[in-house]
A = this chain, B = another copy of it.
Amino acid sequence: MSHSPKRPLTLRDVSEACGVSEMTVSRVLRKRGDVSETTRSRVLAAAKELGYVPNQIAGSLASQRVNLVAVIIPSLSNMVFPEVLNGINSALENTPLQPVVGVTDYLPEKEERVLYEMLSWRPSGVIIAGLEHSDAARAMLQSAGIPVVEIMDVDGRPVDAMVGISHRRAGREMARAILKEGYEHIGFMGTKMPLDHRARKRFEGFTEGLAKAGIEIEDRAFYSGGSALAKGREMTQTMLERSPDLDFLYYSNDMIGAGGLLYLLDQGIDIPGQIGLAGFNGVELLQGLPRQLATMDACRVEIGAHAAQIILNATSDEPDPEIAQQVTLTPTISFGDTLQRYRKR
């Protein structure tokens, strides 16, 4: 209740406290070398004594430079995005740039609002998930006059730079791996999210991959909300009751895959002999399951780090024009214990 009503300190206060011009105080505080050691220490002492915290609002306005990078992602509840953030964070750790996060909940209108909000702070760059944006959002990105990196997906045309994996290809590769192991009766489970374009592309790539071998998905189910692990259990049970002939289940994310795995183990079903399983994402969680679920690593941390590098380069004094603006990372498939049928442990 008692936040001190004192007017925040200004450069002037420090200046007066140490008898040095505002300009010189400013120089010291910005660590510019051209100040004598004597005044430097005097200024620093006064600033610390007073507890002065510079006002970046004024500083940014005057210098026409903002050390902020807008990061726009769909959600924080899916561990994928915090991991991307960690990649961005560490790449930006010892630079002047600072990430600021906005969350869209997978809603295009909210993405538009959040983007507008962030751009109104005139950040030095934008990192935004996905390649699908409303026309208005795309227009804002284009005319912002700052570097823009679209991340996580490369199946589409970016506004500027892009770093990600091909989800379509990820789906195809998984289909190929599954077929190669001799599975033929395949079920799919995923989230009911028409706006999750990456999940959609994986699914499309997957069916495409199967189609090449003349195979079709035999059953599918979609969920929304709730604990993914629990949903994985339920859906798996339901699907197998409905389609007992399935010999492989492909899950659009590792959490429901893990739920399915736990359920099948409970049932005493032979994995991967009777039924094979695979998920997507390579979440750390899987390490602790009784069996390792087959999955595909989405390169989350690298994507974040790389995107941050692109912004860093673009905002540096002499940008290296050689730096790739379109980066396609290759997800590695881990077979774990649930996909290689004929090489059982």
Contact = CB atoms under 8 A, between A and B. Distances in A.
Interface stretch (A2-10, A32-40, A204-212): A2-10
Interface string A141-157: 01111111000000000
A122 B86 contact: no
A61 B122 CA distance: 14
Interface stretch (A14-22, A47-55, A172-180, A183-191): A47-55
Interface string A117-133: 10111100000000000
Contacts of A231: 288
Interface stretch (A95-103, A242-250, A270-278, A335-343): A95-103
Interface stretch (A163-171, A195-203, A222-230): A222-230
A145 B5 contact: yes
Best-surrounded residue of A139, A140, A227 (most CB of chain B within 10 A): A227
A51 B82 contact: no
A245 to B, nearest CB: 25
A70 to B, nearest CB: 11
Contacts of A143: 4, 6, 51
A266 interface: yes
A85 B51 CA distance: 29
Interface string A85-123: 110010000000010110100000000000011011110
Query: Taking each of A83, A232, A288, which has the highest tally of chain B beta carbons within 10 Å of its own beta carbon?
Result: A288
A255 to B, nearest CB: 8
A77 to B, nearest CB: 6
A160 interface: yes
Interface string A285-323: 111111000000000000000000000001000000100
A177 B22 CA distance: 63
28 contacts: A1-B161, A1-B321, A3-B146, A3-B147, A3-B148, A5-B145, A6-B143, A6-B145, A7-B145, A8-B145, A51-B143, A53-B116, A53-B144, A56-B121, A57-B61, A57-B122, A76-B85, A76-B86, A77-B83, A89-B103, A227-B284, A227-B285, A229-B289, A232-B288, A259-B288, A262-B288, A262-B290, A266-B290
Interface of A: 1-8, 51, 53-58, 60-61, 66, 76-77, 79, 82-83, 85-86, 89, 98, 100-101, 103, 116-117, 119-122, 139-140, 142-148, 160-161, 226-233, 255, 258-259, 262, 266, 284-290, 314, 321, 325
Given A1-B321, A55-B120, 19 more contacts: A1-B160, A1-B325, A3-B147, A4-B143, A8-B145, A51-B140, A51-B143, A53-B144, A56-B120, A57-B61, A57-B121, A76-B82, A76-B86, A89-B103, A100-B101, A101-B101, A226-B287, A227-B287, A229-B287
